[in-house]
Each structure stands twice: as C-alpha cells, then as structure tokens.
Amino acid sequence: MSGIEGKVVAITGASSGIGEATALLLAERGAKIVLGARRPERLEALAARIEKAGGDATWARTDVTRREDLAGLVKLARDRYGKLDVLVSNAGIGLISRLDDLRVEDWEEMIDVNLKGVLYGIAAALPVFREQGFGHFVNTVSTAGLRIVPLQSVYAGTKNAVRTISEGLRQEAGDSLRVTVVSPGAVRTDFAERMDPAAKAQIDKMMETALSPDAVARAIAFAIEQPDGVDVGDIVVRPTAQG
Ligand SMILES: NC(=O)c1ccc[n+]([C@@H]2O[C@H](COP(=O)([O-])OP(=O)(O)OC[C@H]3O[C@@H](n4cnc5c(N)ncnc54)[C@H](OP(=O)(O)O)[C@@H]3O)[C@@H](O)[C@H]2O)c1
C-alpha cells in the first residue's frame, strides 16, 4: 500500500505542536487518525476539528510513561479501524539544564517520556505489525542529538538512544516493516513552556528563526506516503538559519 489515504496512524503527543500538525495534515490527506496524549480536552477538540473537516479521528488519553496506555492506543486503532499502519511516537519533553544543577528528577522524567515512552510504543505495536505483516514506526528525535550543546545533554541523550534503538529495530524488522526517525531543529511549539528561565533563554533565541510545526508534519507525511518497499530511514528538518 502506498500513499496516505486509508492508512491508520496513531500519534502520541498529538495534543499540541508537531503531533497536532501531523494529525491535521495526515487527516486532510485521508488517513484515519488515533490521537494520544494526556490532555483529553485537547484531543477531543482536535478529533472534532478533524471530523468537521470531513476526516476521521478517534482519541484516547495516553500517558506514554504507562505501558498499558500505549497498548490501549494500539488496541483502539485496531478495534475502531481494524488495523494499525503507522505509530508516530512523538510525545517528548525537553527539561534542559546544566548537569551541575543535578535536576535528577527532570533527567528521570525525560528518560521516562522520551525513551521509555518510545519503547512502550514499540512493545505495543511490534507484535501487531508482525501479525499484520506490515507497519511503520516513525519516531521524533531531534537535531539536539546531532549537534550537542550545553544544557541539552540529557535531552539529547534520550533522543540519541531512540535514534540507536530505531536503527536496531530497522535492522531486525525484516522486509515488511519500516522505521523512520525524524530530527526536527527548532520548531515553534509549546516545547519550552516548562523550561527554567536560563534554559528558556537559550531556546527563545532559537525560536526567532524556528519552523512552523507543519514543516515537520510534511516530512513525516513524506516518509509515510512512500510505497511499501521504500523505507525513509532518517530525515533532518531544520530552519535554514540554524547552525
Ligand atoms: N519544538 C522543537 O523545537 C523540537 C525540536 C526537536 C524535537 N522536538 C520533539 O518533537 C516532539 C514534539 O514536541 P513539540 O515541539 O510539538 O512540543 P509540544 O507542543 O510541547 O508537544 C509535546 C507533546 O507531547 C505530549 N506529552 C508530553 N508528555 C507526555 C506523556 N507523558 N505522555 C503522552 N504525551 C506526552 C504533550 O501532550 P500532553 O501534555 O497533553 O500529554 C504534547 O502533545 C517531542 O518529542 C520533542 O522532543 C521538538
């Protein structure tokens, strides 16, 4: 199957930013969307917006730090639409700080959401993809893992762990599953909201030339729309002005 029309796509972190933009774009192009995040009111409103525009969407409150929530999201896709074509593991947080600050709880939260959240998605979807004989993992990582800068080491570490696991998954996947990592540069979203002021200053500077989340959504759509035998492994999409 090629193209986007008729594919069933589950997206974590779908309540804002890149996940929301991806849901809207893929729905517009005929995908059936299964939305996951922790804020139900936002998911409900987004699903209603998609349906009002003639699309098809459903949602489930999903905390990616809970393995059973990912299993529930995948089950919802199959119960409602009969299959799952794509899992976009996009939920992520960037609680960046200097290592000297010893914000160990923030490190743990990033590991739980950014790394273990993706692993729980793999655990939920891989057996289903194997049974179906098709499936596509799309994991949102970051250019923070390509050019390492101060304050971002733990965040970048979680993203590069996902990059490494994705490559291992690709190698184990065989000829019927696809694995894509997308590395966005600076994107204008709510991403910096929970950062402390020093970290936010670094990010605010990057936001001056940041991309719209639609740019990342288009990159994800590009990977999904390729014919079955074409595996787009790695996409980097960043502002032209980003160093
Ligand atoms: N913005 C950038 O410059 C940038 C650059 C590179 C990579 N990224 C990556 O892009 C992805 C999306 O971020 P964004 O920029 O779109 O920021 P965002 O607007 O803050 O979106 C983050 C999403 O993740 C969800 N989320 C957070 N914790 C979660 C959890 N425990 N369980 C389920 N969902 C959770 C949030 O929803 P709820 O709060 O409703 O759960 C939200 O939908 C992240 O993986 C981020 O690391 C962003």
Q: Is 135 in the pocket of ligand 1 (CB under 6 A)?
A: no
Does the pTM surpass 0.85? The reply is yes
State the pLDDT at residue 206: 84
Average pLDDT over residues 55-65: 98
Q: How confident is the model at residue 61 (pLDDT cuts 50, 70, 90)?
A: very high
pLDDT for res 163:
98
Q: If you average pLDDT over every residue of the chain, what do you get?
A: 96
Domain boundaries, the chain: 8-228
> Are the C-beta atoms of 35 and 59 separated by less than 8 Å?
yes
CB-based contact 183:146 (threshold 8 Å)? yes
Enumerate residues 6+ apart whose C-beta is below 8 A from 160: 141, 145
CA of 175 to the centre of ligand 1 (A): 30
Give residue-wise pLDDT tens across range 18-47.
999 999 999 999 999 999 999 999 999 999
3-state secondary structure the chain: CCCCCCCEEEEECCCCHHHHHHHHHHHHCCCEEEEEECCHHHHHHHHHHHHHCCCEEEEEECCCCCHHHHHHHHHHHHHHHCCCCEEEECCCCCCCCCHHHCCHHHHHHHHHHHHHHHHHHHHHHHHHHHHHCCEEEEEECCHHHCCCCCCCHHHHHHHHHHHHHHHHHHHHHCCCEEEEEEEECCECCCCCCCCCHHHHHHHHHHHCCCECHHHHHHHHHHHHHCCCCCCCCEEEECCCCCC
Q: Is residue 181 exposed (0-12), middle (13-18) or buried (19+ Cβ within 10 Å)?
A: buried
Q: Check residue 205 and give its pLDDT.
A: 84
What pLDDT, in 10s, does the model give residues 74-118?
999 999 999 999 999 999 999 999 999 999 999 999 999 999 999
Pocket test residue of 11, 16, 44, 146 for ligand 1, highest count of atoms within 8 A of CB: 16
Which pLDDT score, from 0 to 100, does residue 203 have? 84
Kindly give, in sequence order, each residue whose CB lies less than 8 Å from that of residue 75, ignoring residues fewer than 6 positions away: none
Q: Is pLDDT of 2 > 60? A: no
Stretch 161-189: mean pLDDT: 97
CATH class (in words) of the domain with range 8-228: alpha beta
Q: Kindly state if the Cβ of 62 falls inside 6 Å of ligand 1.
A: yes
Pocket flag, ligand 1, residue 22 (CB < 6 Å): no
235 has a pLDDT exceeding 70: yes
| pLDDT given at position 204 | 85
Cβ 11 vs Cβ 32: under 8 Å:
no
* pLDDT for residue 192: 87
**Residue 208: both structure tokens together:** 């001056």
Q: Are 162 and 142 in contact (CB under 8 A)?
A: no
Which listed residue (155, 162, 184, 219) is catalytic? 155
Q: Cβ distance 129 to 139 under 8 Å?
A: no
Residues 180-215 pLDDT 10s: 999 999 999 999 888 888 888 888 888 889 999 999
Q: Report, as an integer, the average pLDDT of 54-81.
A: 98
At 1 the pLDDT is 54
How far apart CA 187 and CA 169 sit, in angstroms, is 27
Q: What is the pLDDT of residues 112-161, one digit of tens each?
A: 999 999 999 999 999 999 999 999 999 999 999 999 999 999 999 999 99
C-alpha distance across the termini of the chain, in Å: 38
